[in-house]
Amino acid sequence: MEKTYRTVRFFENPLYPKEVLQENLSLEDALEYCLDPETSSKTCTTAEGLALTAQYGPWFDAYEEE
């Protein structure tokens, strides 16, 4: 059976729990998602990403095995 992965958003502030974004991904799809600059508060430039940073502080998206 092939392993599957999910993308997860982590917040630096421990008051905010991690948030599952996508499930049942291949490793290739999870890696591709996480390589996007918009998946981190340090490199995002979209209004949505900047608003998320303003509201919650530093954050980043990663993947983990399901």
Where does the pLDDT of residue 56 fall: very low under 50, low under 70, confident under 90, or very high at 90 and above? very high
Residue 43 corresponds to which tokens in the numbers above? Answer: 């490199």
Average pLDDT over residues 42-63: 97
Q: Which residues contact 64 (CB under 8 A, 6 or more apart)?
A: 5, 6, 8
Gyration radius (Cα) of the chain, Å? 12
pLDDT of 1 strictly over 90: no
